[in-house]
Structure 1
């Protein structure tokens, strides 16, 4: 027989239903200290022994991609009890126990949960992103509890009952009767001398010596190593892209760097260290999303402002282009005898066009990420599509025949009559 003691196996994790019940019974507790907003990320990190920074990055990523992260965070805030509480805020709201959170705050969070959920599941940047993000986070939490649910289980909160009643203040000995009044030693004032025979005081307990301070945790070098590798990947990717390799675009290079940072943060969550990598990962994620949503690289023409006031149809260029900057085109001085067709392509910036008051304008105006106001018609937001139409002006048909097309990656587009 092997003398080695077998490690205790986690109980209650036999199947899906048992895992869910065990998670609810040992759900994370929001700490009083160490949390940022509500302590949800710190609660999950403490419960499963991982770095709370990883949890915060997951919530931020789920918020950016689909918007579900914010609604799930508020839901966990309502369902996770605080340390020392026997119930969660939403349970206490319905009278199921006590919570340190006020009912007013619980109601505010519950009301906030519904518009956040509507925003996450109503579509937006990524169709279906809210459903996919919610499914991924729920599956990740389920697998995390399956693998580490038997670790760092919170201590159960029990109520301390105190018996306070008439018996606690009784000054007669048990078994005493009214016949004792006739016995010697009976006090007519009602104070039995035997009742004052108190037990000898117990000696004060000897306090146990304080535990020794924990050994200082050795600082991990994972963060520094990950930062160096990320810089190396960024430099090599930028050099290859500058050499003509089209795959190494800014979006792909940022993706490679974020992959390195993600691996470093996951490793640092278990080995200690790498928490400051999130300071670099968050802005890079935002920049990557912006570059992916707005293909600025598809627009040529350089960087800077472009201003033009053509006086004849021959002076109007077929295309006005800029990668970034502004385009200011004044067409109010054009004669009405020659039709004019022109296009504007701008990657990021602002486009302003003035057309004659009597011109018949056929327009198509689009900004992939921004506001469009084109002769009284417009759109705003991401992926709204082009705004098209024909506008004859206040005088009706007749005048300069102008065909105008504006395609812009990010920024505002405005077309008015001069």
Structure 2
């Protein structure tokens, strides 16, 4: 009885709007990026190439990326910006749904950020550069200095500096308004850094790294302020809520750690995803809810005050409800190699690739309303045992050069045979 009373007391202490465990369903692939609009709407970027705007449980879709959408940020009252695996930054008009394509990167866009005056957009790219785009239009600039992919970028609140992180292990500061901006290394920690957050008033910078490090440093000197490094790795998501002073970090093992930045202490450490990593995080405007994205095709939201009381999410949202060890080999191969991009159910599908329903005997590039690459749409391939075997034996990049299919192979002949047998049953 006392346990029930305590639980009810905890619920009463949380604002009514935050008492609901939230799942936002609709994406057709893993959720890679999240952001929050001032009014409480969630923006999500997904492996299904789309951006969702959630002002309730029913999303509005923004379609324009030619590959996975992986980063998103609000710009001003009527616009937001996204970046993707198609190397592009898209500037979206919320009312019309129209997108302005900002081109110039030669690698995936891993992160986008907006200056405090909303006049500039910065993009971090795997081509090793930082893009600087005038929000009202105009020619971009590109900053180069990292020795590896740039993973994240953030403007200082004072507007004079830009911070960036990279797979080269450095956190750098840029006097970005100078014509020939040269970076200065604040931190060189050896392992790649994935995420950064610039604290209020530029008082601190937090970063998360491949080795599991979550550290806070002085933005002038790089001196360490706090270290919350755990055995889990890597840190893949980092978000700060200024009003409540909360800093949340999501990692590759599916955990979310919440830090009180006023006392620099860990307040919660929560297993958020049953399987897979936490790729994206966002706080609600009041800081009472924390939203997360990962391998499941949904956005989860939890009341922060009750985080430790919830079971891990994700199990019921996976296409495969059994652990891989309980699957037959062909199903396991499909789960590992195909399931993120392809559905087995009849079209339409929100996944990044076309539905495989009715696959055998179908000419390649013929599922209605799917935007195939020209090379596949005009090919003479018919999907059967031999062509599917060759696809995974050689790899899509060799079997269909120029297609949008990601590069992967199944080298074992028996594994390919088992996959084909499974697909014959599952796609009827």
Comparing both structures, which one devotes a greater share of its residues to helix? 1
Give the structure-1-normalised TM-score: 0.20
Over alpha carbons, which structure has the higher Rg?
1
Report the TM-score when normalising by structure 2: 0.20
Higher strand share: 2
